[in-house]
Amino acid sequence: MLIRSTWTLQVTEPTTLPRTYGLEVVKFLHQRLGIEMGAEAIPSTTCSGILGSVTASGDFVTFHPEEFYQLTLSGLQETASKAIAALTFPSDANANQILQLLGATFWVSDREDEVTHYDTLYHTRVAAEPEPIKRFDLKFITPTSFAQNRIHLPLPVPSLMFRSWLERWNHFAPVYLGGDDLIGYLSETIAVTRHHIQTRPVMIHSGRVTGFTGSVSLQSLTSADPLIANVTNLLVEYAQFSGTGMKTRLGMGQTQLNQTVQPS
């Protein structure tokens, strides 16, 4: 089971939090889910943090009552997904769900759940042999970076993106897709054709990690094997649940598939 749950949040008055509040959000959510942070080699959840328009000043950010904010939480395996599906927040006197942290109160005004299964994704994207899709338009909503030994690489390198998605798929899915040979083949047949990205630092614990955000288009070469093209489609679709790159549980690497374009 896979789930991507998105809550729409609001505040009733200007609300100021430290820039590092994101870690508190993740801790709060994991406590509610009953998942111990740091206990999983590959995290079974991804989290966007609270996204929306804020005013930054020094080490603090301010949320505004006229704005809508979103919090997205995804589960990559059965236990985590079921916990997210059943997740509710405490309610106020008017039975409105609220998220409280660091003295701030966010009201939940809406929730949307997208639910699917690994078998469903594999069947529709690969086993059913659909017409291969050649182009993928991705949007990286939160800073995205890749761990390269002791450095972080904030660039949309196809081989690193596919390795990130494939590692999570192989760890959680019942269908093994392949290893280094598949990554090597994808690196030779998938290219970045255009992008509009910028780098942005994000506070993680007491330090900063630089990642990229923005849009990236991937193109499959005409010589690509149809099966491999469909595996590519599967992994790109999966990225919307798994996120991309490092520290996806802590708000990094949130990935959205804007559209897919069939070959003419």
pLDDT tens, the chain, 264 aa long = 999 999 999 999 999 999 889 989 999 999 999 998 888 999 999 999 999 999 999 989 999 999 999 999 999 999 999 999 999 999 988 888 999 989 999 999 999 999 999 999 999 999 999 999 989 999 999 999 999 888 899 999 999 999 999 999 999 999 999 999 999 999 989 999 999 999 999 888 767 899 999 999 999 887 778 998 999 999 999 999 999 999 999 999 999 998 554 443
Per this entry, what is the length of the chain? 264
d(CA 191, CA 184): 13
Q: Residue 8 corresponds to which tokens in the numbers above?
A: 């729409």
Per DSSP, what are the bridge partners of residue 167?
none
Q: How many CB atoms lie within 10 A of CB 138?
A: 24
Query: Hey, what are 52's tokens?
Result: 């929306």
127 Cβ contact partners less than 8 Å away, ≥ 6 residues apart: none
Task: Output the pTM of the full model.
Answer: 0.93
CATH number assigned to the domain with residue range 132-261, chosen from the 4 options 1.20.120.1750, 3.60.10.10, 3.30.70.1900, 3.40.50.2020? 3.30.70.1900
Q: Are 215 and 236 in contact (CB under 8 A)?
A: no
At the top level of CATH, which class does the domain 2-116 belong to? alpha beta
Instruction: Give the tokens for residue 207.
Output: 């330090």
Contact indicator for 146, 164 with CB cutoff of 8 Å: yes
**SS3 category, 170:** helix
Question: Where are the CATH 3.30.70.1890 domain residues in the chain?
Answer: 2-116
Q: For the chain, where do the domains classified as CATH 3.30.70.1900 start and end?
A: 132-261
